[in-house]
Amino acid sequence: MKNFLFFSAIITILVGQAMGFGYYDSVTKGTMIPGISPSTTALGSLRALGIQEAAGIFYNPAQTASLSTSLQLAGSSIYWAERVINSDIEKTVRTYLTADNGTAAFVFPAGSFVFGAGIAKVGEFGYEGSHTIYDKPDEPEIGVAVLYAEGSQWETLASVSTVVYGRLSAGFSGGVRMVNAEYQYDFASHQFLIPDSSAYWTVEDKEFAWHAGLALDGDVFKSGVSYSSETDYMEDIIAFGGSALAEHIKNTIVGFEAEIVSPFDQNRFLGNLFFQMPLTENMNVLSSVSFDDNRVANRAGLGFGLGCDLHVNQFTFGAGLLSRFKSRKNTAFPNEQSERVDDSSTMFSIGMAYSFSD
């Protein structure tokens, strides 16, 4: 029985198919970093629209087509938690904190084109959790299983963008996604006749990845569409949306973006309503509300973002906060009984951009 449970756990970890970019996905494809910069964090991880910035090469490179020579740096911390709920009073809580997320991007115009390059952390594999194993619920426990994982996925890109016609721009970025992760699974037996067991394995992967997009930058209305390619440890994503300038609400920008993860396959949908409101001449307030239609126990995923950017001469300083909540069914441990599993994450991002021209 013990060997069956142990090898079932290993198989579940290696081929598990949650694929929802929740905490559990740290042991499948990895947990996707929801924001590349403070603005994308506060605006709900926008991928087709958003503020024009050098980091755009990681979501919609068309957004960089009108930029002057610019450098952008950003860093973030993320706190993940999963609550395995078996009844109203019985819960198992597992958490993980990472603070080594970062982005660096540089763009410069040359003739009618804008070229760029950058590196960013786009995925996290960290996981820490334990689970008490029973042969039968009314019998003594067999032992405790412990799963520990660490690692990350980074993207290194080069990009090119240009204004195609009028206010319409197009962009493309391509490069390498690099994965490096380590896993340790241990079983500590509480019964004399059942021996302890452990397994250790690593994952290393390097694949070509690309992003492409179009952006229409009007005085009142803006729109965009972007596509991010699929690799072994990242699903493809298509995003599209539009925004409008509401002059009667203090020149607030109001927009909506739709994101489809794994189109033509799983077709998971994420909707995002966002706002950008000038607070002073040099400062904007950013906010967002998002929802995920992947319902479990009649619970849709929700997200809330808040942030700001401050312009000081040629510098732009930004901060963003994004909290997301959703439910799922699976856990990283086979045969773990639960009514549902509630995922949550809180991301805080800060950054700085510098424009080399006035």
Q: Are 55 and 206 in contact (CB under 8 A)?
A: no
Report how far apart, in Å, the C-alpha atoms of 297 and of each of 23, 189, 339 are: 18, 34, 8
Q: What integer pLDDT is reported at residue 300 of this predicted model?
A: 66
What tens digit of pLDDT does each residue of 218-254 get?
889 999 999 999 999 999 999 999 999 988 888 899 9
| pLDDT of 264 above 50 | yes
Q: Give 335's pLDDT tier (boundaries 50, 70, 90).
A: confident
Closest by Cα among 53, 62, 242 to 169: 62
Strands 70-85 and 197-217, by their bridges, are unpaired
* pLDDT value for 63: 94
Query: Which of the residue ranges 23-37, 97-111, 140-154 has the most confident prediction, judged by mean pLDDT?
Result: 97-111
Mean pLDDT, the chain, rounded, equals: 87
In this predicted structure, the answer to whether residue 19 has a pLDDT above a threshold of 60 is no
Homologous superfamily (CATH) for 2-355 = Outer membrane protein transport protein (OMPP1/FadL/TodX) (2.40.160.60)
CA geometry: angle at 70 spanning 66 and 73, to 5°? 125
Q: What is the DSSP letter of 231?
A: B
Domain range annotation of the chain: 2-355
Report which of residues 350 and 301 the model is more confident about.
350
Residue carrying the six token digits 């996707």: 32
**pLDDT per position as a tens digit, 71-127:** 999 999 999 988 888 776 667 888 899 999 999 999 999 999 999 999 999 999 998
What is the pLDDT at residue 248? 83
Closest CA to 303 of 43, 93, 121, 125: 43
